[in-house]
Structure 1
Amino acid sequence: MTNENRDQFKPEDHPNDHFIMTSVVGSYPKPKWLNRMNDLYEQEDGPVDEEDLQEAEDDAARLITNEHERAGLDTVVDGEMRRNEMVEFFADRIEGYEFNGPVKVWGHNTFDKPSVASEVEYDESWLVDEYKFTASVTDRPVKVPITGPYTLASWSFNEAYEDEEALAYDLAELVNEEIEKLVDAGARYIQIDEPALATTPDDHQIVGDCLERIVADIPEDVRIGLHVCYGDYFRIYPDILEFPVDEFDLELANGDYEQLDVFKDPEFTKDLALGVTDVHVAEVESVEEIKENIKKGLEVVPPERLVVSPDCGVKLLPREVAYGKMENMVTAAREVEAELDAGEIDIDAPTPADD
C-alpha cells in the first residue's frame, strides 16, 4: 500500500522500497552570532540595523537548512531562525495584539505575553518570505510550522472578545488565510502547532472546529500535520481522530512511550509522526536506541503511515547534540526500512488487509 500524501516527499533516489519519512518539528539552536546580532539590533542607536539583521538571518537560515540536509532529513525547516517565540512572533504580526512587557514562565525564562486589545485582523503575510527563502536554498521539501489559533488565543490575555473560543475562531480564519498564501507560494507540508491542547485537553472540540476553518479550501495534496506536546493524551483520544489533518505529531519519547497503548484502541486511523528522540536529554541516543523507538511506532501504524522526528523543537539543546540526534535518527530510519524490505521486522499494527 502507498500513501500518496506522504510519498510525494520520498526522494527519487531513496535506497529502500519502504519509506519512513524523517522530519523535524521546527525550532533548532540558533548560531551564537545570530543571538549576538539580535542583541545589537535591540540596542537603541546600536551598530546593527534592519538590513544587517536580515542578512544575518538569511545566513543562519541557509546554514541550518544545509545542516538538516547534511543530516539526511527528507523534509527540512530553516530551524525558525527568524522567530523569537512561537506566540510572540505571530502576535507581533497580527493587528489587534499589543505587548505590555514580559511575564515569567519557568526558571529565569520570560515570555512577552501579548494582549488582544481589539478584534484581530490579517495584515501582512507572516511566513511566505521565510518559506520562499528556505525553498530557494534547498532541493528538499520544506515543512512550514505555524502556531495554531487555539494556542495563540490561550497563551494571550483576552481583553477584546467575549471568550477564548470566539478569539480562537477568528484567529483560525487568519491562519487559513496565511496557509492559502503559503500554498500559492508552493508549500505542500504545513504543521499546525497546538501545545496548549496538551495543557487544556477538555477544549479539544474547539481545536477541531478551528482546524475545520483552517483547512477549508486547502488542496488535498497539501499535507497538514498537528503537533501536540506531551500531555495526557488519553483525555483527547480517540476524539482527535475526527480532526481534519493527515498526521498527528506526538511527543512520546519523553515519557518513555508509557502512553503508546492509548493509540492502539480504537485503531489509529491517521498518519503517526512519532517522536523518537528525547529533546529534554542533552545526549545523542544511539542508532540502536532510536531503531527500537521507531519500531514502537509500528505497533500503532503500518510503515506507510509512519513519520519520525525528534519529540519537539530542539532549540534548547547544544547544537552538536541536536545535529547528532537528527543524523542518528535518519540512519536508524534507513536501517529499519531495509529490515522491513528484508522481512526481518514483524509489524504489529493493523494493516489494510485487516479492514
Structure 2
Amino acid sequence: MTAHNLGYPRIGDKRQLKFTLESYWKGEKTVEELEAVAREIRYHNYQTQMNAGIQLLPVNDFAYYDQVLNMSTLLGVIPSRFRQKSYNIEVAFRMARGRAPSDDGHVCCASHASSKSKAGYAGAMKKWFGTNYHYIVPEFEQDTVFKLTDTRLFDEVDEALHIVNDGQNVQVKPVLIGPVSYLFLAENKETTISKLSRLPELLVVYQEILARLAEKGIEWVQIDEPILSLELEPEWQEAFVQAYGVLAKAEVKLLLASYFETLGEHVSLVSCLPVDGIHIDAVWGKTQLAEIVDAIPADKVLSLGLVDGRNIWKSDLNHALQSAKTAKQKFQDNLWIAPSCSLLHVPVDLDSEEGLSNELTGYLAFAKQKLSEVTLLSQALAGHNVESQLSENAKIIEARAHSSMVNNEAVQERLAKLDSIALKRQNPYTQRVKVQKPKYNLPLFPTTTIGSFPQTAEIRQARRAFKSEQLTEAQYVKQMQAEIKDVVDRQERMNIDVFVHGEPERNDMVEYFGEQLSGYAFTQFGWVQSYGSRCVKPPIIYGDVSRESAMTVAWSRYAQSLTNKVMKGMLTGAVTMLQWSFVRDDQPREVTCNQIALALRDEVLDLEAAGIEMIQIDEAALREGLPLKQRDWDDYLRWAVNSFKLTTSGVKNTTQIHTHMCYSEFNDIIQAVADMDADVITIETSKSQMTLLDAFVNFHYPNEIGPGVYDIHSPNVPTVEEMVVLIEKAAQNIPVERLWVNPDCGLKTRAWKETEPALENMVTAAKILRERFTLNPSA
C-alpha cells in the first residue's frame, strides 16, 4: 500500500521564500542567495515528507512564482516582449511582474532597460480552478515554438535523487502539468493558430522531457490534468486520447491526476487512457467514487485522494477508510493513498500555532499533519494495528459536531427568519440614479480608487505594536488617524473625486473583519501562497457567525470629517469572506454565507446612519466561487447574489452601493452581476487591455462601471496616454455617463513613489477625456 503526495507548500515554514524573493527584487540579495534559500526549503520539504512515511516524493512542485509559469519556461513559451538570447530566472520574473527598469534593482535586459515605453507588461493572472491561488496565463503567439528552455526541472530531480538515496522505500516522482490542460489554460495572442492544432508539436517536447527523466532512473511521473474536472467539448476530450496515445510510449510510468471535483462524464474516457495510474479527488469528488472504482481496470494504479488538500479540518479517517476498503477489494496493492490535491493550498504546520484554543487546535490539520493522516490510512489498509489512532480520531469528529463553540443558538434563530427580509432595494437603479446624480454632483468620468493605499513599514509596525500591547489603544488610534489624514490630504492634492480612507488599520480585507466577528479564528503562522511572494493567512470559520459591534464606522466617520469630498465606506462582501477563508465543512456553504451577510447588513446600516452614504462592498471572489461543473452554477449564483442583496437591500435610494471584482471572466456571470444591482461596479480590466468588457457589449449592463485603467500588480507607472487609450476603449462599450475611472485593485502592495504619479496620471487622463467628450459627445 503506497502513501504518496501530490505537492507540498513551497513558501517555507516561516515564509522564507517570500522574504528572500522580495529582497532579491529590491536588489538586496543575489540570485545565488535566492537559490540557496530555495534549496533549503526543498530539502526541508523532502525530509518532512519522508519522516511522515510518504513513499513517493513530488518534485517540481516548487516554484519561485507559480507552477504554470514553470511549465511555460520549461516549454519555451516565452512572449516575444521578454525573449533574450539565453534563459535565466529574470525572464520568468519579468513574465510574472512586468518589466520595470531599475525599479526592482535588476536590469534584466540591457536592450530594453533604457526606456519605460518599451517596458513589457506582465502576463495575465487568473485563479487556479476555484482556489485562491493564481497562475500566470501562458501566451501563444504566431511564432511560438515549443522547445526545452529551462533546466530547473532536471536539476531539482537530480537534487531530490541525491537526498533520497539513503531513504528506504522512497522514490522521486516528478510532477508536470499535462499537455492538454496546459493548452486549455493558454491564451492565444495575435495568432490565428488554434490551440489544439499545436498539440502534436507540444507532445514532442513532452516526450523529450519524459525521456530525460527516464534516463535519470525515474519510474513514476505525475501528470496533472485538472481540466478533467470541467465539462469539456468533444474536441478537448479527443485531445486526451491523442496526447496519451503518444505519451504512453515513454519509458516511465504515468500517473494521471485530476482534482477539485468529480470526473463527471469523463469516467469512461479516463479509464480507457493508456496510463499506468489514475489519481482522483475522493473528497470533493466523493459522490462518484463507486462509479470510478468500478470503471478503472484493476491492473492500473488507483490513487485515492482521501485527505482534503484544500481545507484545514481533521479528516474523518474512519469514514475515509470505509471508502478505501471497498476500492482495495478490487485493486489490492495497486491502491495508493494521497491528499485530494497538492497541499499547496493549506498552511505548513499546525505545531507552530500557539494562539488557538486547545479545543479548536484539536479539530485541525495543516500540511504536515495531513501527511500523517495519509500514512495512517495507508497503514490501516495494509493491516497494521492503528485502532487506537482511529478510535481517537472518531472521538474528535464526534466532539466537534456537538461543540458549543460551533453552534450559536441566537445566530440560528435569526437565520430562521431570513424569509422576512426583502432582498430588493427600495427602487430600481433607473429611479435611484435620478436622486443620486444631483446628490453627489460628480463630473463625467469620476475618479476614485478601490480602497487601500500603500501599507508603509510604519503602518505595519504600529499594528504589530498595538497587537503586542506596546501601544495603547489611544496611541494606536491617534497614529492611524494621522495616516488617514495623510491619505485624505494626498487625494485632495491629486484632485480625486471620490475618496477612500486608505485602510491603514486593516491587515487584510478578510482578516480585518473576521477578527471582529464571532465564529472566526485566526492563526499566527497559517500562511498560504497566493502567487509569487504574495501570501495570505485565511481565517478559519469554525462556528456560527455574527457581529458583536460596529467594525468600520469610527474610521469612516473620522475620514469623512476631514473633507467635503464624498468618502466611501469599505467592506468585504460575504462571498469573498467565505471564499477566502477556511470554511467549516459541517453545514452548506450557503448557510455560512448568509450568516456573514446578516452581520454585514448591520454594518452597512450603521455606516449609513453615520452619514457614510457611498458604501463599497467588495466581492472580488464572486467569480472564483463558481463550481467547476457548469450544471451547478445556477444554484451557487442564486445564493451568492442573494447574500449580496441581503447585505445591501436595507439602505435608502440616495445611498450609493459600489462593489469591486477581480480576475473575473464576466461572460460567465454577467447576468448575476446585474442581478446584484450595485449602483457602481469596479472591475479589473487593464491586463486584458479592456477585453473583459466584451461581456458588456451584447448584455447592455444597466448600471455604472469603473473598468480598471492600470495594473496595480506591477511597479510600472502607466502614462496618461496609455490610460486615455484604455478609457476610450471602455467608452466603445459603456455609455460615458456611466463610466468611472479607477485602478484595477487596491494599492496596499505598492509604494507611494509608484502610487502618486500613477494616480496623478489617472486624474489627468480623466480630465482630458472630460474635455474631449464634452466638446464632442460622440467621440
Cα displacement (A) at 1:6? 4.3
Cα displacement (A) at 1:9? 2.6
Instruction: Say whether the 8 Å CA contact 2:597–2:643 is kept in structure 1.
Output: yes
Identical pairs, percent: 25
Aligned to 1:67: 490
1:117-266 correspondence runs (5 A)? 117-159=542-584, 162-201=587-626, 202=633, 203-266=636-699
Tell which structure's C-alpha radius of gyration is larger.
2
Cα displacement (A) at 1:234? 1.4
Q: Secondary structure at the match of 1:198?
A: coil
1:37 aligned to which of 456, 462, 469: 462
Aligned to 1:51: 474
Q: Deviations over 1:299-338 (max 9, x none)?
A: 2222211111101001111212111111111111111111
The TM-score, its normalising length taken from structure 1, stands at: 0.89
Cα displacement (A) at 1:221? 0.6
> Which 4+ runs in 1 deviate beyond 4 A?
1-4
1:104 aligned to which of 528, 531, 541: 528
- Residue identity matched to 2:667: F
Q: Secondary structure at the match of 1:311?
A: coil
Instruction: Say whether the 8 Å CA contact 2:510–2:580 is kept in structure 1.
Output: yes
Instruction: Say whether the 8 Å CA contact 1:3–1:305 is kept in structure 2.
Output: no
Cα displacement (A) at 1:4? 4.3
- Residue identity matched to 1:200: G
- Over 3 Å counting, the alpha-carbon distance change for 1:109 and 1:329 in structure 2 is closer
Aligned to 1:116: 541
Instruction: Say whether the 8 Å CA contact 1:204–1:240 is kept in structure 2.
Output: no
* Structure richer in helix, relative to its length: 2
1:305-324 correspondence runs (5 A)? 305-324=738-757
Mapped to 2, the partners of 1:5 and 1:313 lie a distance apart of 25
Give yes or no for the alignment of 1:286 onto 2:709.
no
Give yes or no for the alignment of 1:87 onto 2:519.
no
Aligned to 2:758: 325
Instruction: Say whether the 8 Å CA contact 2:445–2:766 is kept in structure 1.
Output: yes
Q: Secondary structure at the match of 2:488?
A: helix
Aligned to 1:268: 701
- Over 3 Å counting, the alpha-carbon distance change for 1:279 and 1:108 in structure 2 is closer
Aligned to 2:733: 300
Mapped to 2, the partners of 1:67 and 1:195 lie a distance apart of 26
Aligned to 1:15: none
Mapped to 2, the partners of 1:35 and 1:340 lie a distance apart of 43
Cα displacement (A) at 1:169? 1.0
Q: Deviations over 1:129-160 (max 9, x none)?
A: 01111011111100112100011112222337
Mapped to 2, the partners of 1:290 and 1:160 lie a distance apart of 44
Instruction: Say whether the 8 Å CA contact 1:30–1:60 is kept in structure 2.
Output: no
Q: Secondary structure at the match of 1:277?
A: coil
Aligned to 1:25: 450
- Residue identity matched to 2:625: T
Instruction: Say whether the 8 Å CA contact 2:689–2:726 is kept in structure 1.
Output: no
Mapped to 1, the partners of 2:684 and 2:437 lie a distance apart of 20
Instruction: Say whether the 8 Å CA contact 1:154–1:164 is kept in structure 2.
Output: no
Q: Secondary structure at the match of 1:126?
A: coil
- Over 3 Å counting, the alpha-carbon distance change for 1:25 and 1:222 in structure 2 is same
Cα displacement (A) at 1:346? 3.1
- Residue identity matched to 1:267: H
Aligned to 1:5: 436
Give yes or no for the alignment of 1:346 onto 2:771.
no
Give the aligned CA root-mean-square deviation in angstroms.
2.0
Question: Unaligned 5+ residue runs, structure 2?
Answer: 1-429, 627-632
Instruction: Say whether the 8 Å CA contact 1:73–1:330 is kept in structure 2.
Output: yes
- Residue identity matched to 1:104: V
Cα displacement (A) at 1:68? 1.4
- Over 3 Å counting, the alpha-carbon distance change for 1:238 and 1:160 in structure 2 is closer
Which stretch shows the higher mean deviation, 240-249 or 181-190? 240-249
Mapped to 2, the partners of 1:3 and 1:341 lie a distance apart of 21
Mapped to 1, the partners of 2:742 and 2:486 lie a distance apart of 20
- Residue identity matched to 2:450: V
- Residue identity matched to 1:127: T
Instruction: Say whether the 8 Å CA contact 2:455–2:749 is kept in structure 1.
Output: no
Cα displacement (A) at 1:7? 4.9
- Residue identity matched to 1:54: V
Instruction: Say whether the 8 Å CA contact 1:211–1:244 is kept in structure 2.
Output: no
Mapped to 1, the partners of 2:473 and 2:708 lie a distance apart of 37
- Over 3 Å counting, the alpha-carbon distance change for 1:31 and 1:247 in structure 2 is same
- Over 3 Å counting, the alpha-carbon distance change for 1:99 and 1:39 in structure 2 is closer
Q: Secondary structure at the match of 1:224?
A: strand
- Over 3 Å counting, the alpha-carbon distance change for 1:259 and 1:83 in structure 2 is same
Instruction: Say whether the 8 Å CA contact 1:10–1:74 is kept in structure 2.
Output: no
Mapped to 2, the partners of 1:279 and 1:19 lie a distance apart of 24
Mapped to 2, the partners of 1:187 and 1:248 lie a distance apart of 18
- Residue identity matched to 2:669: I
- Over 3 Å counting, the alpha-carbon distance change for 1:330 and 1:243 in structure 2 is same
- Residue identity matched to 2:518: E
Instruction: Say whether the 8 Å CA contact 1:254–1:280 is kept in structure 2.
Output: no
- Residue identity matched to 2:778: D
The TM-score, its normalising length taken from structure 2, stands at: 0.42
